[in-house]
Structure 1
Amino acid sequence: MADEVLTTIEDGVIIITLNRPKAKNAANKALAEGIAAAIDELESNDDLRVGILTGAGGTFCSGMDLKAFVTGETPNIPGRGFAGLTEYTPNKPLIGAVEGYALAGGLELAISCDMLIAADDAKFGIPEVKRGLAAAAGGLVKLPRQIAPRIAMELALTGDFISAQRAAELGLINHVVPSGTALEAAKELAARIAANGPLAVAKSKQVIAEQGDWSSDEMFKKQNDIVMPVFSSADAIEGATAFAEKRAPNWTGK
């Protein structure tokens, strides 16, 4: 894995750190490849339950590396999108821990996470129009599905930034925490998720991720097609047994 992305594993959680602090963690090809490889590790390693995406040096990601862009390099991975993530949805939960700036592609990377923790001095925005570009890595299509479309329109057309507090008001992020503590707060959230049945977590995530495209007539059938195997799983029996025996469950993910 490239030095542009560092990974550590703690108690079933993989922490994926963007590691180009001198460039405000701007995404180049190597960083995109590193994120894609880290997500592959999250997906393939049965011991991993949750991923956390964060940035080194007090910032999350300032977007695309424009110096690399003008030389013809783009931080896109086929089938994965910008920074190896924006067009891909992992099966396991991914939490973004945002300090400093999540701008342009950095915001699009953040909104590709399932949940977001942000420092109280963090800033969010899609300022591509200020550089004659467009927020084509999700800012124009995913952001209006996560906040009110009129607000997304304003952000896309002005390129203005918003604060973490405003992002929380809009429902874009889960929790605002003191500066410097976003990663620790994300670890706490990840631990609460990792303590649960991994099969139940994965299927619950899948339903929530896909249900927006379902009609009212079909939503329960589609939901049940996904979640009913959970109820007949070994983990379901283990969860009920552990509750009765007043002990922690021993999950197998089966």
Structure 2
Amino acid sequence: MTQNVLTERRGAVLEVTLNRPKANAIDMATSRELGEIFTDFRDDPELRVAILTAQGEKFFCPGWDLKAAAGGEGADGDYGKGGFGGLQELRGLNKPVIAAVNGIACGGGLELAISADIILAADHASFALPEIKSGTVADAATLRLPKRIPYHIAMELLFTGRWFDVEEAHCWGLVNRIVPAADLMSEARKMADELAAGPPLVFAAIKEIAREAEDMKFQDALNRINASQFETVEKLYRSEDQKEGARAFAEKRDPVWKGR
């Protein structure tokens, strides 16, 4: 890996840190690197949870590196596995990802954050989707944001490009928790460790069901589950972990999850 993205394994947790001063903007090379990192995370059976954050206290990520764009990189270029930032289009990522937003998250940086499953944000973080002001569209946010927060609020943020602070983000449910900046990573690690101790096959089933059923009617999705059409659910139901959960409950002890 390059110094643009730092990684650290802590047991079953992978920490991924953007490190591109001054603002942690993402160019094509960095996006491709992130895609490789998150693909390896997805495919590594020893890793169960990832934390995505950035260096510094001012910026999480402003999205696309406009200096790289001015140098010839186009919006339709090769951003690598998982699309821009490595997360937005990565297939089969059935492990929890926590975004620890340490500062400004705007444009593609906000799109990257909302690609995570859980968002913790420093108390000084701020957000915007300013693409409208440069005559372009925040495409991933236009798809995702109206499904994450109330429709009318999402449309206002997309239409105006205005800035909003972390308290408003929390009010609309975009952010799970506001954390003092000095405590952001310790809180993210605490949550990651809690998840890493949980049942990975259940997490995988939750993510696949939620992802695949997002645009389905309730009964259609339930019919697919009952017809054994979700691979992760079937793997869970036939697993040692399923039996271990029942045994641990009967024996009044903590289960030992093996992910198989």
TM-score (norm 1): 0.92
Q: Which amino acid aligns with 2:36?
A: A
Offset, 1:184: 1.8
Match runs of 1:87-236 below 5 Å: 87-89=89-91, 90-136=93-139, 138-224=140-226, 225=228, 226=230, 227-236=233-242
When the two structures are aligned, how many residues end up with a matched partner?
252
Counterpart position of 1:14: 14
Counterpart position of 2:51: 52
SS at match of 1:140: helix
SS at match of 2:246: helix
Question: In 1, Cα distance between the equivalents of 2:29 and 2:81?
Answer: 16
> More deviation in 161-170 or 103-112?
161-170
Counterpart position of 1:253: 259
Offset, 1:228: 4.5
* 8 Å CA contact retained: 1:76, 1:84: no
Shift in alpha-carbon separation, 1:16–1:98, aligned structure 2, 3 A: same
Offset, 1:229: 3.9
* 8 Å CA contact retained: 1:98, 1:122: yes
Q: Which amino acid aligns with 1:129?
A: I
Offset, 1:37: 1.4
Counterpart position of 2:69: 69
> More deviation in 223-232 or 146-155?
223-232
Unaligned runs of 5+ residues in structure 2 are none
Residue 239 of structure 1 pairs with residue 245 of structure 2? yes
Q: Which amino acid aligns with 1:44?
A: D
Offset, 1:13: 0.5
Query: What do the CA deviations read for 1:146-179 (whole angstroms, capped 9, x no partner)?
Result: 1112111111121111111111111111111112
Offset, 1:78: 4.6
* 8 Å CA contact retained: 2:32, 2:80: no
> More deviation in 64-73 or 212-221?
212-221
Unaligned runs of 5+ residues in structure 1 are none
Q: Which amino acid aligns with 1:232?
A: R
> More deviation in 170-179 or 224-233?
224-233
Offset, 1:246: 4.5
* 8 Å CA contact retained: 1:2, 1:33: no
Question: In 2, Cα distance between the equivalents of 1:168 and 1:48?
Answer: 29
Q: Which amino acid aligns with 2:180?
A: P
* 8 Å CA contact retained: 1:238, 1:251: yes
SS at match of 1:144: helix
Residue 42 of structure 1 pairs with residue 45 of structure 2? no
Q: Which amino acid aligns with 2:119?
A: L
Question: In 2, Cα distance between the equivalents of 1:133 and 1:170?
Answer: 25
Query: What do the CA deviations read for 1:153-208 (whole angstroms, capped 9, x no partner)?
Result: 11112111111111111111111111232222111111121111111111112112
- Root-mean-square deviation over aligned CA pairs: 1.8
* 8 Å CA contact retained: 1:76, 1:83: no
Shift in alpha-carbon separation, 1:180–1:222, aligned structure 2, 3 A: farther
Offset, 1:128: 1.2
Counterpart position of 2:27: 28
Query: What do the CA deviations read for 1:211-234 (whole angstroms, capped 9, x no partner)?
Result: 221113312122343325423310
Question: Aligned residues: percent identity?
Answer: 41
